Structure 1
Amino acid sequence: MIDPWLLEKLVCPVTRTSLRHDEARLELVSDEAGLAYPIRDGVPVMLVEAARMLP
């Protein structure tokens, strides 16, 4: 689970827009960029190279 305070502060590194937490997939989703950033061991990996492209 991501701390709500942290989620409020994090933004997509590509678009600088807010992120949506997908708890089921353990990802932070940028709907604007069409990317999903993984959360590994409770730590968001905010690297474009690590992100999954959304369909």
Structure 2
Amino acid sequence: MTQGLDPALLAKLACPVTRTPLRWDAERGELVSEAAGLAFPVRDGVPVLVVREARVIAET
């Protein structure tokens, strides 16, 4: 997904694990929780904030 996420929606979303803000990764089309080390997919413009659907982010 190359299009952006609505900034008003992004401001209201939080990580379901840590309740911290999410960061939009436009290149991968996912919402990233730095605190939880998870990336949540966005499918057809809809954020999927389900932990079992999230991708674990490799530690740097």
- What TM bracket, shorter-length normalisation? over 0.9
Give the TM-score, by structure 1 length: 0.97
1:1-25 deviation line (CA, Å, top 9, x unaligned): 2110000000000000000000010
Number of residue equivalences: 55
Partner of 1:7: 10
Give the TM-score, by structure 2 length: 0.90
For residues 26 and 51 of structure 1, the distance between their equivalents in structure 2, rounded to whole angstroms, comes to 12
SS of equivalent to 1:36: strand
SS of equivalent to 1:5: helix
Gaps of 5+ in 2: none
Partner of 2:34: 31
Say which one has the larger Rg. Answer: 2
Stretches of 4+ moved more than 3 A in 1?
none
Partner of 1:19: 22
Question: CA RMSD for the aligned pairs?
Answer: 0.4
Gaps of 5+ in 1: none
SS of equivalent to 1:29: strand
For residues 42 and 32 of structure 1, the distance between their equivalents in structure 2, rounded to whole angstroms, comes to 23
